[in-house]
Amino acid sequence: MPERHSERNADVLIVGAGIAGLSLAIALSKSDLNVVVIDGADRPKPVNEGVALDDWDLRVSALTPTSIHFLESLGVWQKIPNERTAPYESMCVWDADGTGRITFNAADIGTSYLGHIVENRQTVQALIECVEACSRVELRWHSALESMARRSDGWSVHCAGEQCFSVQLVVAADGARSKVRQLTALPTRDWDYHQSAIVGTVALSSPHQQTCWQAFLNSGPLALLPLPDPAKVALVWSLDERDHAEVAALSDTAFVHALNCALGPLAPQAEAVGARLSFPLRQSHAIDYVDEALVLVADAAHSIHPLAGQGINLGLSDVRILAQELLAGCASGLTVASAVSLKRYQRQRKSENLAMMAAMEGFKRGFGSLHPVAVILRNVGLNVVERQRWLKRWFMRQAIN
């Protein structure tokens, strides 16, 4: 191995400057811990504040009230401009091949909104501003992880540009294709949905009514998520491989026609679409979230189908619980890499994440089936929930946590 520069010491090294990694750094900055965040990318450029069709980020998140409260506690939510967030008050879900339909309203559970649709780049920008104001956090761009070596007191980590760190704890917040997980050979259970999602921004012929619109099609779920502009929505259209290539290749005019045919009469109609992007859908779950002086969070630990938009919320819950356990452990005299703290985090998060992943798999299989019995059962189920107010309220409370 070529000679390296001398190692720098840190208590915690977070790999990945995305939403999970940056929010964890801010949460840990409330202690005496020295935290370093590394990422191989450039620092993101200032975000576009335009409102034309192609000015919106293709990646958006449906943040729940619980996630928003957590970001508020970090001082992050306050930095996201109000005019770039879209609170949604209702959700309308239906089976495109039947008569089943259900509508959720925030007023039914005594709250003003069910969540907010936020561009990912707006959230990241606010997080970066907060991190750069933290005196005990160092954020390093152009610092791609290259290698890791286990040592008695933690890890020796080498990054691009001959940067070297000696750290007590490594946190993998580097996404579904985690380099940390690869280098440490932590096993996962993976399966391919044989679907791809098309995302983009759509202009509507009528207002979105602060509503999330979701149709379950045989080829996959289709969602319209309200943006701050009342006539624009973010599109997430999941399609089986046999259908995706044909739909993705359509001209804008033909794509809008196909979209309106898929939506049917229950949703606002599309009149134009901006730039589109596709990505394959896979599910992955780490067998263990923790190892010696090592912990996985968010997509590095689990990635799920975007069916209910819960991926980012699960990741922020990971961060919140991990920060609580690490800080509580340090306050009681444990080291930041204590196995006691890490296992407490894993116990709390693994069960919830597995439950959500199982639910998403059940929805995907149930609504993707063409079997007549499955079609009847899912439509009866939707209509039963629609009529039973207590059951609707229960589902809504699960969704906003």
159-211 per-position pLDDT tens digit: 998 899 999 999 999 999 999 999 999 999 988 888 899 999 999 999 999 99
Burial of 192 (0-12, 13-18, 19+ CB in 10 A): exposed
Average pLDDT over residues 380-399: 47
C-alpha dist (Å) from residue 7 to 135, 168, 174, 186, 227? 20, 13, 22, 25, 46
Contact 28, 185 (CB under 8 A): no
Contact 216, 94 (CB under 8 A): yes
Contact 256, 270 (CB under 8 A): yes
Q: What is the pLDDT of residues 269-323, one digit of tens each?
A: 999 999 999 999 888 899 999 999 999 999 999 988 776 567 899 999 999 999 9
| Amino acid, single-letter form, for residue 78 | Q
Domain ranges of the chain: 8-44+56-400
- CATH among 3.20.20.140, 3.50.50.60, 3.40.50.10610, 3.60.15.10 for 8-44+56-400: 3.50.50.60
Question: Does residue 381 have a pLDDT over 80?
Answer: no
Q: What is the DSSP string of 325-387?
A: HHHHHHHTT--TT-HHHHHHHHHHHHHHHHHHHHHHHHHHHHHH---HHHHHHHHHHHHHHHH
Contact 300, 16 (CB under 8 A): yes
Contact 307, 238 (CB under 8 A): yes
Model pTM score: 0.89
Share of the chain above pLDDT 90, in %: 70
* Helix ranges, 99-138 (H): 120-132
User: Which 3 state secondary structure label does DSSP give 294?
Assistant: strand
